[in-house]
Structure 1
Amino acid sequence: MKVVKFSGAIVEFEPEKLKKSLLKSGASHVAVDKILETIQSQIYNGITTKQIYKMAFGLLKKESNSHAAQYNLRAAIQMLGPAGFYFEKYIARLFNSEGYKTITNQTLEGKCVSHEVDVVLKKDEELAIVECKFHASRDVVSDVKIPMYILSRFNDLKDRKQTIFTNSDKISSCWIVTNNRFSSDAIAFGNCSNMNMLSWDYPKKDNLRHKIDSSKLYPVTCLTTLTLAEKDKLLVLDIILAGELIHNIQSLERIGLSQNRIKNVLKEVTELCKYLNHES
């Protein structure tokens, strides 16, 4: 069975690969096998992976909103656009959870020119700039030009006294974070230049997907009980993480949700973020 990928490439359908992604949603083996059986009975030669994804998402949603939300993670990250402003805020929240102090959207003076910096991090002796490369399409790869460019900015900023968290901050390292992937040359150059790199699948054991799943810091755009317009309104209210709704129910009232819908949203958030497990 041939399927058409997002990039347009034609490849063999891999049921085990689909099964693995479905299991990552938290759904049981029984539910996943049932979904896989349904999909295999309906797909045809030349179907797109996008259509298969929609089928899988719809079937998962019938099983559990929270499992569908988790399965929808990569698409939900892509909703933090279109320019990536909310993606920068999301990445700052992610680093906050790891004990970093963060500040977004800073203009810092370098030796030669000024630089607009997406996120600045501070933890212990490390003070780092973070460049967030957001892509609305999952086919776009960050190539070697990206770390080359970021390295030149870092070199212009490093060891220069800045007023960020204190009056005498000095940039000591840099990060590149993308919601997609890095090319092999980009990774090789970044490693050679001692740059910190984080993408959807890099590094292998502590990549963006792993960080999100392990911390349960899912973006509010994951939620299946909200419309796209409602998610956008929450982002404007600076509600970036689904878990932030647990202690900010009034934000759901502000965007016009009924009490019954608020109850459904909070149920999904609780299941998705495992709040009950944390509190027990």
Structure 2
Amino acid sequence: MKVVKYSGDIVDFEPEKLKKSLIKSGATIAVVNDILRQIGKEVYDGISTKHIYKKAFSLLKKEANSHAARYNLRTGLQQLGPEGFFFEKYIAKLFAAEDYQTKLNLILQGKCVTHEIDVFVKKSNVICMIECKFHSKRDASSNVKIPMYVLSRFNDVKENKHQIFSNEDTVSDCWIVTNNRFTSDAIDFAKCSGINLLSWDYPKGNNLKTKSDIECLYPVTCLTTMTIAEKGKLLILDIILAKELINNSESLEKIGLSSKRIKNVMKEVSELCKCFG
């Protein structure tokens, strides 16, 4: 059985891969098997992965909004656009959860030219610059040109001392983060050049999807009980993570939700933020 990916590539249908993603949503094995059975009845040669995702999402939502929200993580990351400014804030919060100090959107004078850097993080006196490459389309990848370009900026910036966390800081490490994927050439170049990469599925076992699951760092854009416009209003209020609503339901009042809808949203948030590894 063949399926058509978002990119247009035709690949084999992998039920086991779908099963793993459904299990990660928090649904029970019984529910997962039932969803697989229902989807199995509708799968045909040439079906799109988008269609399969929508069907699985709909069935999960009938079971529990929080399951659908967890399954909705990648789409939620895409909705941190369109420019990616909120994605940068989300990445800063990921690092902050690992005890890094963070700074966003600073302009530094390099040896040759000035550079606007998306995020800076600091731990144990090591300061890293982070460049975020946000893609609004799911099939877009960051190719080898990205780490080549960022490496040149890093080399220029690390030559000087800067005012970041103190007045005499030096930048000694570099990260590139994307909500999608890196090409194999980009990964090879980054490894060779000493650049750290973080993407939806890289590095294995410590990527965006695993970090989000383990620490319950789901963006509010994952939530299924709110409209896209309402979630956008929360982002403007600087509420990036769903867990930030746990003790802050007043923000839902500020954006105009009724008491009944606030109750539904808070129920989803409470269930979504019960972490598991």
Which bracket does the TM-score occupy, shorter chain normalised?
over 0.9
Residue in 1 that maps onto 2:220: 220
The 5 Å alignment of 1:225-236 reads 225-236=225-236
Matched, 1:57 2:60: no
Decide whether the 8 Å contact of 2:111 with 2:159 is kept in 1: no
By how many angstroms is 1:260 displaced?
1.2
Aligned to 1:145: 145
Measured in 2, the distance between the counterparts of 1:220 and 1:122 equals 26
Deviation at 1:13?
A: 2.0
After superposition, residues 90-239 of structure 1 pair within 5 angstroms as 90-239=90-239
State how far apart, in whole Å, the 2-side matches of 1:46 and 1:172 are.
48
Q: Name stretches of at least 5 consecutive residues in structure 2 with no aligned partner.
A: none
Instruction: Tell whether the 8 Å contact from 1:128 to 1:174 is kept in structure 2 after alignment.
Output: yes
User: What corresponds to 1:35 in structure 2?
Assistant: 35
In structure 2, the residue matched to 1:81 is 81
Distance 1:114 1:144 in 2: 23
Q: How far apart are residue 45 of structure 1 and its match?
A: 2.7
TM-score, length of structure 2 as denominator length: 0.97
1:46 is displaced (CA, Å) by 2.3
SS of residue in 2 equivalent to 1:188: helix
The number of equivalent residue pairs is: 276
Is the CA contact (8 Å cut-off) linking 1:92 and 1:104 kept in structure 2? yes
Comparing 56-65 with 246-255, which one deviates more in the overlay?
Answer: 246-255
In 1, the alpha carbon distance for the partners of 2:177 and 2:10 equals: 29
Give 1:117 deviation, angstroms: 0.4
Worse overlay, 204-213 or 53-62: 204-213
Q: Are 1:268 and 2:255 counterparts? A: no
Q: Deviations over 1:192-245 (max 9, x none)?
A: 111111111111121111111111100000000111110011011111000001
The sequence identity of aligned pairs, in percent, is 65
CA distance in 1, matches of 2:205, 2:274: 22
Question: Which residue identity lines up with residue 215 of structure 1 in the other structure?
Answer: E
Counterpart CA distance in 2 for 1:12 and 1:193 is 35
Contact 2:142 2:186 in 1 (8 A): yes
**TM-score by structure 1 length?**
0.96
Would you say the 8 A contact 2:110–2:159 is kept in 1? no
The answer to whether the 8 Å contact 1:175/1:196 transfers is yes
Q: CA RMSD in A?
A: 1.2
For 1:246 and 1:204, how far apart are their aligned partners in 2? 30
- 1:124 deviates by 1.2
Distance (whole Å) between structure 2 residues aligned to residue 159 and residue 101 of structure 1: 22
**Counterpart code for 1:222:** C
**Which residue in 2 is equivalent to 1:12?**
12
The one-letter code sitting in structure 1 at the alignment partner of 2:35 is I
Per the TM alignment, residue 247 of structure 1 is displaced from its structure 2 partner at its CA by 1.7
Shift of 1:15: 1.6
Q: CA separation in 2, counterparts of 1:138 and 1:223?
A: 19
Distance 2:48 2:88 in 1: 31
Question: For 1:128, what is the secondary structure of its paired residue?
Answer: strand
Task: Tell me, in whole angstroms, the C-alpha distance in 2 between the residues paired with 1:173 and 1:160.
Answer: 14
Return the offset for 1:143: 1.0
- CA apart distance, 1:141: 1.3
In structure 1, runs of 5+ residues without a counterpart are: none
Counterpart amino acid of residue 58 in structure 1 = S
Contact 2:120 2:130 (C-alpha < 8 Å) held by counterparts: yes
Q: After TM superposition, give the deviation of residue 8 of structure 1 in Å.
A: 1.0
Give the partner amino acid of 1:257. L
Conservation of the 8 A alpha-carbon contact between 1:88 and 1:118: yes
Aligned twin of 2:247: 247
SS in structure 2 of the partner of residue 22 of structure 1: helix
Contact 1:234 1:240 in 2 (8 A): yes
CA shift for structure 1 position 20: 1.3
